[in-house]
């Protein structure tokens, strides 16, 4: 996201906008399957879509053994996500692609800010008790303060899943609103951890509450749940974004994350965005893919497009 992007001011909690919502789960699954079954774009069109996908990646490292050195290497990759020969082969020297953001744990924000200085690439920090959200609210808010003070331009918060499972929308709304206030000028992405929410109806309702509370982006998963980003969940969240837009006039971003590893996955997500929300959601201001390993496969496919040869994945190391 850039400083010029519109922010979501949120609205008062209005349960009438979501409490009667029904989700037809088999229909959502069929729609998601139809995206996967479709013949994907080929040749130069596929290469163009994959370059677009690169610009929407939140290049992520969220591992227990992260170090400032690993984060610095990842940031170098974020600045130059494609090898120079591939950039030249694709004719992109005038405007080489860069990723949407680098996403790290709060204690890695200073290293990422240093490594990305002058690049214009924002640092995104997970916060608020990532991944479970089960530390006391005071500590979760303090974590947001820390990440913002250290220079994170985007904050990926996690919600209390129990508020959704007990349908306590007031508590969920107040928690997210408090987090949004602590983000200040930083964009806030609300991670719903959809794999923990049991039903697509819960996913829809939690999406609506998060947007009402001021989330600039709704995000599927932490990458640590048993089930992470799936297309049926993405479809339901896109429909919620559409409904919120028609109720309020505000456009909210979307970020699938967790388990997105192949170029084909990225193409499916881009197709979903294009068909459900339109061209504006094919830009990094409105759409991100949270992924630690996706870029390697995209680079490999683009290498095949440029040279006619596939290389092993380990030739495209991330950090």
Ligand X SMILES: O=C[C@H](O)COP(=O)(O)O
Residues marked active site are found at: 156, 219, 255
CA–CA separation, 281 and 300 (whole Å): 25
Closest approach, Cβ 19 to ligand X, in A, equals 30
- The answer to whether 115 and 69 have CB atoms below 8 angstroms apart is no
Q: Which region among 44-52, 72-80, 145-153, 286-294 touches ligand X (by CB under 6 A)? A: 286-294
Does residue 291 belong to the site contacting ligand X (CB under 6 A)? yes
Rounded to 10 degrees, the C-alpha dihedral 233/238/243/245 comes to 150
Closest approach, Cβ 86 to ligand X, in A, equals 22
Nearer to ligand X, 263 or 291 (CB): 291
Nearer to ligand X, 65 or 93 (CB): 65
Does residue 103 belong to the site contacting ligand X (CB under 6 A)? yes
Nearer to ligand X, 256 or 285 (CB): 256
Does residue 257 belong to the site contacting ligand X (CB under 6 A)? yes
Does residue 195 belong to the site contacting ligand X (CB under 6 A)? no
Segment holding 124, helix H or strand E: strand 123-127
Residue with tokens 């951890």: 193
When binding is defined by CB under 6 A, the residue of 290, 296, 299, 300 that contacts ligand X is 290
- Provide the edge-to-edge strand list for the sheet that holds 101-104: 253-255, 217-219, 187-191, 154-158, 123-127, 101-104, 57-60, 289-291
Does residue 194 belong to the site contacting ligand X (CB under 6 A)? no
Residue 253, SS3 per DSSP: strand
Residues 31-60 within binding reach of ligand X (CB under 6 A): 60
Does residue 234 belong to the site contacting ligand X (CB under 6 A)? no
Q: Which region among 86-94, 208-216, 271-279, 285-293 touches ligand X (by CB under 6 A)? A: 285-293
Token reading at 219 = 């995000």
When binding is defined by CB under 6 A, the residue of 292, 297, 299, 318 that contacts ligand X is 292
Rounded to 10 degrees, the C-alpha dihedral 174/208/272/314 comes to 20
Nearer to ligand X, 205 or 292 (CB): 292
Does residue 223 belong to the site contacting ligand X (CB under 6 A)? yes
Q: Return the ∠ at Cα 194 (arms to 166 and 56), rounded to 5°.
A: 145
CA–CA separation, 116 and 245 (whole Å): 33
Name the residues that contact ligand X, by CB under 6 A.
60, 62, 103, 222-223, 257-260, 290-293
């Amino acid at each position: 996201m850039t400083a010029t992007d519109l922010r979501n001011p949120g609205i008062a909690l209005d349960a009438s906008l979501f409490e009667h919502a029904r989700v037809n789960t088999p229909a959502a699954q069929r729609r998601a399957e139809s995206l996967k079954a479709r013949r994907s774009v080929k040749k130069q069109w596929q290469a163009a879509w994959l370059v677009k996908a690169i610009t929407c990646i939140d290049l992520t490292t969220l591992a227990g053994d992260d170090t400032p050195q690993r984060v610095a290497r990842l940031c170098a990759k974020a600045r130059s996500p494609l090898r120079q020969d591939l950039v030249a082969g694709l004719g992109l020297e005038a405007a080489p692609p860069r990723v949407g953001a680098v996403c790290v744990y709060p204690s890695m924000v200073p290293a990422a800010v240093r490594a990305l200085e002058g690049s214009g690439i924002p640092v995104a920090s997970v916060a608020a008790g990532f991944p479970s959200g089960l530390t006391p609210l005071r500590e979760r808010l303090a974590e947001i303060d820390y990440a913002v003070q250290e220079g994170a331009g985007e904050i990926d918060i996690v919600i209390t899943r129990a508020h959704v499972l007990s349908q306590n929308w007031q508590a969920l709304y107040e928690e997210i609103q408090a987090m949004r206030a602590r983000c200040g000028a930083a964009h806030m992405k609300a991670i719903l951890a959809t794999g923990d929410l049991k039903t697509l109806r819960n996913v829809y309702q939690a999406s609506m509450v998060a947007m009402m509370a001021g989330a600039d982006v709704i995000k599927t998963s932490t990458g640590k749940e048993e089930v992470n980003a799936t297309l049926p969940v993405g479809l339901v969240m896109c429909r919620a974004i559409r409904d919120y837009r028609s109720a309020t006039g505000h456009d909210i971003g979307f970020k699938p994350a967790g388990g997105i590893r192949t170029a084909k996955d990225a193409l499916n997500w881009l197709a979903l965005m294009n068909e459900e929300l339109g061209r504006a959601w094919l830009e990094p201001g409105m759409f991100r893919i949270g992924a630690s390993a996706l870029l390697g496969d995209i680079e490999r496919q683009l290498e095949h497009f440029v040279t006619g040869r596939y290389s092993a994945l380990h030739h495209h190391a991330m950090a």
